[in-house]
């Protein structure tokens, strides 16, 4: 095992954040704004400043970099940025970002609520840079352990792996914002020619100059359609075969009434609703987010397919009501077997690459928590129990708060892993931390072992 470094041995943070994607960047900003108000004496109830540290495994900020296709746009209004719904006057808003880049007036003339994903990534990076004193990049959290005093957990030790070795950091509360994991169908292994769409831009440059002749893209969601359009545009000599079990791409429902499922109030409704109503709501409104495609992109692809039919140069093929049933990689090709669900007929496609745009899933939120997970409560279906304030329900002997950003779809609804509610959610988590009392168990816990004393603030 690597050498264990002491970390900041005497300090017990109020909060350690695991992951520094948009959710925890928003958390860091909420803390920064709260602490500034405390310093200015603006907090009406004389609340305390919060000490926090975030750990991110990537070497620098990155939001789904592998899918930053240059013409792809956001699926959420820019007003649902990291702060605006919580604090419309925040200096961390997308509008302040635009102002700082000298593009505010140009953006307004554009009359568009949905910026390019590349631009929103730049906004996220700009925001993350403004709070980078709170984060350690290149630091992967690999474990959490309880430190018990007088029969109760006093604080948590968080083990972090960096280029230097392992470090141990301490906190009274955690916020997990570790995001989603790419999903491949069972039995499919990634390889040089078998990709998940999350790796698209990291891998595609290597094909430049190789004159690829065929791509197969599996899936019928937004990422699948974006991959089809991108590969078709980028490699004008290649055929692109889209394979999916649906009859055709289905449009995302972003109409006004349906969009209310992403509202802050919808979290209250969903959280309160009985299980059967929760399931019904997901059935009704899953098509606002899952396995659906922006109607403009659907129309573009259809127009392109039809134009090619007319011109007799068909490079876009849609193998609908079909399933990819086998994939075999050889050093210079990959062979995909596609089976029609209508006739059972098999089509063999020799391709340069098969891209699986088969979605993402939540990692088990308790996976990182080691024996702390044993003190977290689960519901009848074995899912982690989460309170309205996003805190995992725990045994009484675990007073530390473990908050989830993501992995709460079963309790808080469809916005769990999305950006729509991020600004509000981090405000609620911060409020919960403050309401529960940062120092609740013992003041001494804020410094440990060596008796140097003094608060970290």
Q: Can you give the binding site for ligand FAD, defined by CB under 6 A?
A: 18-24, 55-58, 63-64, 67, 74-76, 140-141, 177-180, 223, 360, 368, 405-406, 417-420
Least distance from ligand FAD to the Cβ atom of residue 307, Å: 27
Q: Please say which residue, 130 or 439, places its beta carbon nearer to ligand FAD.
A: 130
Least CB distance to ligand FAD at residue 231 (A): 15
How far is it, in rounded angstroms, from Cα 250 to Cα 290? 10
349, 338 contact by CB (below 8 A): yes
CB neighbour burial string for 173-185, b if at least 16 within 10 angstroms, e if fewer: bbbbbbbbebeee
CB nearer to ligand FAD: give 21 or 212.
21
R_g (Cα) of the chain, nearest Å: 24
CB of 284 vs ligand FAD, minimal distance in Å: 19
Where are the alpha helices (H) located in 155-289, listed in sequence order? 200-204, 222-234, 256-259, 264-272, 275-285
Query: Of 108 and 113, which has the nearer Cβ to ligand FAD?
Result: 113
Note the residue count of the chain.
457
When the beta carbons of 173 and 322 are compared against ligand FAD, the nearer one is 173
**Three-class DSSP category at 445:** helix
CB closer to ligand FAD, 74 vs 224: 74
Shortest Å, Cβ 255 to ligand FAD? 17
As a whole number of angstroms, the distance between CA 198 and CA 217 comes to: 13
Q: Which of 281/441 has CB closer to ligand FAD?
A: 281
Least Å distance, CB 386 to ligand FAD, is: 15
Pick the closest to residue 249 from 289, 216, 292 (CA basis). Answer: 292
The minimum distance between CB 347 and ligand FAD, in angstroms, equals 29
Minimum CB separation from ligand FAD for residue 278, in Å?
Answer: 20
> E strands within 352-433?
353-356, 360-362, 401-404
Cα dihedral: 266, 389, 434, 83 (round 10):
-40
Sign for the pseudo-dihedral over CA of 280, 285, 289, 294 = positive
CB 182 to ligand FAD: min, Å: 8
Q: Which is nearer to ligand FAD, 146 or 177 (CB)?
A: 177
Tokens of 73: 């746009």
CB of 170 to ligand FAD, least distance (A): 16
Residue closer to ligand FAD by CB (options 56, 239) is: 56
Nearest to 80 by CA among 264, 252, 267, 287: 264
Q: How far is the CB of 174 from ligand FAD (least distance, A)?
A: 11
Taking the C-alpha atoms of 83, 84, 86 and 92 in order, what is their torsion angle to the nearest 10 degrees? 30
User: From the CB of 134, what's the least distance to ligand FAD, in Å?
Assistant: 14
| Smaller CB separation from ligand FAD, 43 or 409 | 409
Q: Classify 391 in phi/psi space as left (phi over 0), alpha (psi -120 to 50) or beta.
A: beta
The residue among 368 and 438 lying less far from ligand FAD, judged by its C-beta, is 368
**Residue 310 host element (H or E):** helix 295-311
Among 4, 2, 370, smallest CA distance to 167 is for: 4
76 versus 438: smaller Cβ distance to ligand FAD: 76
User: How far is residue 336's CA from residue 350's CA, in Å, rounded to a whole number?
Assistant: 6
User: Which residue matches tokens 């702390």?
Assistant: 372
Cβ-based neighbours of 203, under 8 Å, separated by 6 or more = 195, 353
Name the residue nearer to ligand FAD (CB basis): 74 or 438.
74
Shortest Cβ 274–ligand FAD spacing (Å): 27
Alpha helices in 111-199 (DSSP H): 117-130
Look up residue 36 and give its DSSP letter.
H
């Amino acid at each position: 095992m690597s050498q264990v470094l002491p970390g900041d041995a005497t300090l017990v943070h109020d909060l350690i954040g695991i992951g520094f994607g948009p959710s925890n960047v928003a958390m860091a900003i909420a803390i920064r704004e709260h602490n500034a108000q405390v310093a200015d004496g603006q907090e009406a109830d004389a609340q305390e400043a919060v000490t926090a540290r975030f750990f991110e495994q990537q070497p620098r900020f990155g939001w789904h970099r592998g899918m930053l296709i240059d013409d792809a746009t956001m699926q959420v209004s820019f007003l649902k940025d990291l702060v605006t719904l919580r604090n419309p006057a925040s200096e961390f808003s997308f509008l302040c970002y635009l102002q700082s880049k000298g593009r505010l007036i140009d953006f307004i003339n554009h009359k568009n609520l949905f910026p390019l994903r590349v631009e929103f990534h730049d906004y996220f990076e700009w925001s993350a840079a403004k709070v980078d004193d709170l984060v350690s990049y290149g630091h992967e959290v690999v474990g959490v352990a309880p430190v018990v005093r007088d029969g109760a957990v006093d604080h948590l030790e968080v083990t972090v792996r960096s280029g230097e070795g392992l470090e141990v950091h301490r906190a009274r509360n955690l916020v997990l914002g570790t995001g989603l994991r790419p999903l491949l169908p069972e039995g499919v292994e990634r390889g040089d020619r078998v990709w998940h769409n999350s790796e698209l831009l990291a891998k595609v440059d290597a094909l430049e100059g190789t004159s690829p002749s065929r791509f197969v893209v599996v899936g019928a969601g937004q990422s699948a359609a974006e991959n089809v359009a991108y590969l078709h545009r980028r490699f004008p000599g290649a055929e692109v075969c889209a394979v999916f079990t649906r009859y055709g791409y289905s449009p995302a429902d972003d109409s006004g009434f349906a969009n209310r499922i992403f509202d802050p109030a919808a979290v209250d409704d969903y959280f309160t609703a009985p299980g059967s109503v929760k399931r019904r709501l997901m059935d009704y409104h899953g098509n606002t987010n899952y396995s659906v495609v922006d109607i403009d992109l659907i129309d573009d692809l259809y127009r392109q397919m039809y134009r090619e039919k007319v011109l007799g140069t068909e490079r876009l093929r849609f193998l609908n009501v079909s399933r990819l049933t086998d994939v075999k990689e050889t050093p210079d090709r990959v062979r995909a077997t596609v089976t029609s669900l209508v006739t059972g007929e098999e089509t063999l496609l020799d391709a340069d690459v098969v891209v699986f745009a088969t979605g993402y899933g939540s990692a088990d939120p308790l996976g990182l928590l080691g024996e702390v997970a044993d003190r977290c409560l689960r519901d009848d279906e074995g899912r982690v129990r989460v309170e309205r304030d996003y805190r995992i329900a725990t045994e009484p002997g675990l007073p530390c708060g473990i908050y989830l950003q993501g992995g709460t779809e079963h309790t808080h609804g469809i916005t769990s892993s999305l950006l729509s509610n991020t600004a509000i959610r981090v405000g609620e988590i911060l409020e919960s931390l403050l309401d529960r009392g940062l120092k609740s168990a013992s003041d001494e816990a804020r410094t440990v072992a060596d008796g140097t004393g003094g608060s970290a603030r």
